[in-house]
Amino acid sequence: MSRTVYVNGVFLPEHDAKISIFDRGFIFADGIYEVSAVMAGKLLDNDAHLKRLERSLGEIGMPMPMPAEEIVKIQKELIARNDIVEGTVYLQVTRGAADRDFPFPPADTMQTLVMFTQKRDFTNSPAARAGIRMATVRDIRWERRDIKSVALLAQVLAKQAAAEKGCQEAIMHTADGVVTEGGSSTIFIVTANGELVTRPLSNEVLPGITRQSLKLLCDERGVPFIERAFTVDEALAAPEVFVTSAGSFVTAVVEIDGKRIGGGQPGPVARRLREIYLDEAVKAGV
């Protein structure tokens, strides 16, 4: 059965969905995207995702295409029409279609807004049960990684390089070995004394929404949450490593560049944090 998708005000079958070849998202990657997870038919952390959407759009001089509450109505309609119990809702806003020219088009150019769903089986995820393998890749991205741009070529290349090594995710790092983030995730290490360590927010990393929610949960429970830079060598020596994202929640890393992390299986901290996050996120979902 064909999915129902949303394109510029219309719900339609995916095979009928079309946008202009002059769309600036297609030509210049001039757009912003967000992905919200769905569990038990509910959107998780969606308010935070839409706030990040508005911020990212503002950073590139674009307004929201419509009020956030209208976007939520469309997301929920797509979830219902596509019978999504577990999965994701993808949302993309571009500056619209105009003849190819680098400067912004006229102010009255209509933005493009598309949304679609993907079914996922989070509950029975092999990655959640067994953990994932990661490969180190040099971070070659631009300096505004805090903007959730659709320009993802560097991440595509990083994740492909990891896939060619039999890994599910890339761990990106600077020339001097400092970890930035994953190809599509935030990376944490767990220290020997139980502290969670992740890179502080700046224009060098995306402000992860699952990261944000996990920090609040850790603060409430008195779990040490340390924001500082760490190196690939520290990650390799850590008792536990895990990643967070809207599509992976909290997922343990069991191997980096062929070296086992901890005992080569998901550790107790990552397993417990995943349970806590999912329990609280579903309770608060809409």
Q: Which residues are CB-contacts of 137 (< 8 A; sequence separation ≥ 6)?
A: 157, 158, 161, 162, 170, 171, 172, 173, 183
Which pLDDT does position 286 carry in this prediction? 87
Amino acid at 46: N
pLDDT digits (tens, 9 = 90+) for 138-191: 999 999 999 999 999 999 999 999 999 999 999 999 999 999 999 999 999 999
**Tokens matching residue 232:** 């690939």
| Contact (Cβ atoms closer than 8 angstroms) between residue 114 and residue 8 | yes
Q: Which residues pair with 11 in a beta bridge?
A: 6
Domains of the chain: 4-119 (3.30.470.10), 126-284 (3.20.10.10)
pLDDT digits (tens, 9 = 90+) for 38-75: 999 999 999 999 999 999 999 999 999 999 999 999 99
Q: What is the mean pLDDT of the chain?
A: 97
CA atoms within 13 A on the CB side of 232: 19
Residues 188 and 284: their CA atoms lie apart, in Å, by 24
The predicted model gives 109-114 an average pLDDT of 98
| Contact (Cβ atoms closer than 8 angstroms) between residue 31 and residue 93 | yes
Residues with catalytic annotation? 148
Percent pLDDT > 70 in the chain is: 100
pLDDT digits (tens, 9 = 90+) for 69-105: 999 999 999 999 999 999 999 999 999 999 999 999 9
pLDDT digits (tens, 9 = 90+) for 271-283: 999 999 999 999 9
pLDDT digits (tens, 9 = 90+) for 223-282: 999 999 999 999 999 999 999 999 999 999 999 999 999 999 999 999 999 999 999 999
Q: Which residues are CB-contacts of 182 (< 8 A; sequence separation ≥ 6)?
A: 134, 169, 170, 171, 172, 243, 245
Rounded to two decimals, the pTM is 0.96
| Contact (Cβ atoms closer than 8 angstroms) between residue 275 and residue 122 | no
Three-class secondary structure of residue 27 per DSSP? helix
| Contact (Cβ atoms closer than 8 angstroms) between residue 110 and residue 98 | no
How far CA 168 is from CA of 38, 146, 201, 239, 248, in Å, comes to: 21, 23, 24, 20, 11
Q: Is 193 exposed, middle or buried (0-12, 13-18, 19+ CB in 10 A)?
A: exposed
Q: Is 143 exposed, middle or buried (0-12, 13-18, 19+ CB in 10 A)?
A: exposed
| Contact (Cβ atoms closer than 8 angstroms) between residue 134 and residue 162 | yes
In angstroms, what is the C-alpha Rg of the chain?
19
* Among candidate residues 286, 207, 279, the one with its CA nearest the CA of residue 250: 279
pLDDT category at 1 given cuts 50, 70, 90 is low
